[in-house]
Each structure stands twice: as C-alpha cells, then as structure tokens.
Homo-oligomer: A and B are copies of this chain.
Amino acid sequence: MVMPNALLEKSLNKRVSLFLKDGRTLEGTLTGFDDYMNMVLEDTKEDREESSRKLGVVVLRGNNVVSISFI
C-alpha cells in the first residue's frame, strides 16, 4: 500500500501539477507540505482557461486542492 503522504514525500523537489477546486491548475516544484496537505510550490506556473502566469513561490491551502499529479 502506498500512503498518500508517503507519495508526496517521495515527490519532494519534483514537478507536480495541482488541480484546484476553482478550476485553476498550478504546476511547480513541491518543496514542502504538512498534515493538512497545505503545500509549498516553487517556480510555479498558474494555468486558467484562457491565461497563464508565473507565480514563483506559492503556499497552497490543502482544502482547495482536488488532486495532485506527477509530471
């Protein structure tokens, strides 16, 4: 069994793609997370339906995250 937290830990310093409840996608390097799945991303790129922008370092509240995929 792969625990969700263990998979996040193995993905530290790797690129991940976060799908958020509000429809945005954030792609960045996962540099940290806590028990609530709050996460820290670096070199973050935000994609919305019609636009894209660079956000640098971002803290994400875990309860806004729907899914995390690995690139």
Chain A positions near chain B (C-beta within 8 angstroms): 1-8, 12, 20-22, 26, 31-34, 37-40, 44, 55-70
B40 near A69: Cβ-Cβ < 8 Å = no
Contacts of A37 in B (CB 8 A): 38, 61
A34 near B3: Cβ-Cβ < 8 Å = yes
A8 to B31, CA, bound (A): 14
CB distance from A65 to the nearest CB of B (A): 6
CB distance from A48 to the nearest CB of B (A): 11
B32 near A1: Cβ-Cβ < 8 Å = yes
Contacts of A44 in B (CB 8 A): 69
B66 near A60: Cβ-Cβ < 8 Å = yes
